[in-house]
Amino acid sequence: MELDLVDMKLLRLLQKDASLGNKELSYHLNKSIAAVHERVKKLKANGYIKRTVAILDRKLVGIDLISFSQVFLKAHTAEVLNEFERDVAKFPEVMECYQMAGSYDFMLRIATKDMEAYHIFLRHKLAVLPQVNTVQTYFVLSETKNETAYPI
């Protein structure tokens, strides 16, 4: 599926506010409600829109600590890499997991209630994974920008 200018504008609108209904979207796009509905349906079917979520205020729901952990694995076989990815994906504290090129193997963004919750997560979940050799963690002091919309 190739995106046209209307599709791009529709995606930009939905990235900023996914609660916009077809009526509001049709107004912004100067298209009929039915046409907008079909476009959204097509974008979902083709994987451009993976899911629609609510973005919460993390502090209001009790998540006061964000950290980034560099994970070094014991080995780099496909089996070890796949096992680590499968295991770490199960942890609700892990918000993002990226395999990296460079001196460490994975970068994790971890969200916990506080330092004690992070400590429990590290000692009883992450560090005990059989694939993990070393974890080096950095704690966020302040957040200047947190964007979910891609610049398309």
pLDDT digits 0-9 by tens, 83-127: 999 999 999 999 999 999 999 999 999 999 999 999 999 999 999
Burial 126-140 (b: 16+ CB within 10 A, else e): beebebbeebeeeee
Confidence of residue 22 (pLDDT cuts 50, 70, 90): very high
Residues in the chain: 152
Residue 16 clears pLDDT 90, i.e. is over it:
yes
Q: How far apart are CA 140 and CA 69, in angstroms?
A: 11
User: CATH 1.10.10.10 occupies which residues in the chain?
Assistant: 5-45
* pLDDT tens-digit series, residues 42-73: 999 999 999 999 999 999 999 999 999 999 99
Instruction: Yes or no: say if 121 and 93 are a contact pair by the CB < 8 Å rule.
Output: yes
CATH topology of domain 5-45: Arc Repressor Mutant, subunit A (1.10.10)
Residue 1 clears pLDDT 90, i.e. is over it:
no
Q: How far apart are CA 148 and CA 15, in angstroms?
A: 7
Instruction: Yes or no: say if 67 and 144 are a contact pair by the CB < 8 Å rule.
Output: no
Lookup: tokens for 35? 């046409």
- What's residue 30's pLDDT? 97
Tell me if residue 115 falls in helix, strand or coil.
helix
- What's residue 11's pLDDT? 98
Q: Is 49 left (phi over 0), alpha (psi -120 to 50) or beta?
A: beta
Residue 10 clears pLDDT 90, i.e. is over it:
yes
The pTM (predicted TM-score) of the whole model is 0.89
- What's residue 31's pLDDT? 97
Q: How far apart are CA 32 and CA 150, in angstroms?
A: 26
Q: How far apart are CA 149 and CA 152, in angstroms?
A: 9
CATH architecture, domain defined by 65-139 = 2-Layer Sandwich (3.30)
User: CATH 3.30.70.920 occupies which residues in the chain?
Assistant: 65-139
Which of 109, 117, 116 has its CA nearest to residue 66? 109
